[in-house]
Chain A
Amino acid sequence: MKLTSEHRDDGLIVRVEASRIDAAAAVQFKDSMRRIVDGAPARVVLDLSQVDFMDSSGLGAIVGVMKLVCAKRRLELAGLTANVRKVFRITRIDTVITIHSTASEAFDGLKHAS
């Protein structure tokens, strides 16, 4: 699974360049994220706008990454497609993680707020 990252202000945008985070991809996704967030700034925004399918294994991997970074950093999400949003809503994980409509908005919004 290809992940690309881009530094932005105080944070890092990580883009998932794949259409699925499913049971067959979840372990690899978590491993790749672990490498990327090691040494990342305090705020990591995961851009999921290209992901049109995520199952409970993919969701578990994202929660795993949240737990992995929580001591020093904060994981936020952006760009959830309709199918992915449904998974977060039903499991109520959308209540324990910040979700932005787009990755750019995650940073622009912060500027306006300050």
Chain B
Amino acid sequence: MRPDAPYADPDIPENEARPTSECCLHLAIPGSMQAVRGALAQVVRTLALQGVADEQRGTVELVLAEVMNNISKHAYAGACGRIELDIARDGDDLSFSVVDDGRPMPCGVLPRGCAAELDCAVEDLPEGGFGWRLIRELTRDLVYLRIGERNHLAFRIPARA
């Protein structure tokens, strides 16, 4: 995608572009971990072209990996499904929208992502539960909505240090 012509992407009709933000990327992928890998590579390439620095690209890649692999593992739980990702540049931030048709979050709310209990013997250390900790630490304005049969997750990540 050319950074100087963000509306030229045929996947994004002009009437969907919000006037205060610049459309950056729209992807619809199968909800499999391999497809997530491919999508992450595309996101990182696109952000590099748009001048987003290494560190922020690394943060975006990590957060999107956590979010989309969670959808693959838990919302779809191995079944087929689609993940839609929209990234927009909004001032100094990147804003993200991730939508899927999978199962809702347990109890309809996001996991709290508390710091793991590490004051224990090595054999009792947790091997999971780190994902939401990372997502919550690295994003702002994290919002989850269940609308009809779809999960909507929105958040922001600074585009600059």
**Chain A contact residues, CB within 8 Å of chain B:** 20, 22-24, 53, 55-57, 59-61, 63-64, 66-67, 70-71, 82-83, 86-87, 90-93, 95-96
What secondary structure prevails in chain B residues at the interface with A? helix
Q: B69 contacts which chain A residues (CB < 8 A)?
A: 22-23, 55, 57
Determine if A96 and B123 form an interchain contact, defined as CB atoms under 8 angstroms apart.
Answer: no
Determine if B125 and A67 form an interchain contact, defined as CB atoms under 8 angstroms apart.
Answer: yes
Determine if B62 and A66 form an interchain contact, defined as CB atoms under 8 angstroms apart.
Answer: no
Q: Which residues B118-140 have CB closer than 8 A to chain A? A: 118, 122-123, 125-128, 130-131, 133-134, 137-138
Q: B27 contacts which chain A residues (CB < 8 A)?
A: none
* A24–B77 alpha-carbon span in the complex (Å): 14
- How many chain B residues touch A (CB < 8 A): the figure is 30
Determine if A83 and B125 form an interchain contact, defined as CB atoms under 8 angstroms apart.
Answer: no
B36 CB-CB contact with A under 8 Å: yes
Least Cβ–Cβ distance between A81 and chain B, in angstroms: 9
Determine if A82 and B55 form an interchain contact, defined as CB atoms under 8 angstroms apart.
Answer: yes
Determine if A90 and B118 form an interchain contact, defined as CB atoms under 8 angstroms apart.
Answer: no
Determine if A92 and B125 form an interchain contact, defined as CB atoms under 8 angstroms apart.
Answer: no
Determine if A60 and B130 form an interchain contact, defined as CB atoms under 8 angstroms apart.
Answer: yes
Determine if A22 and B37 form an interchain contact, defined as CB atoms under 8 angstroms apart.
Answer: yes
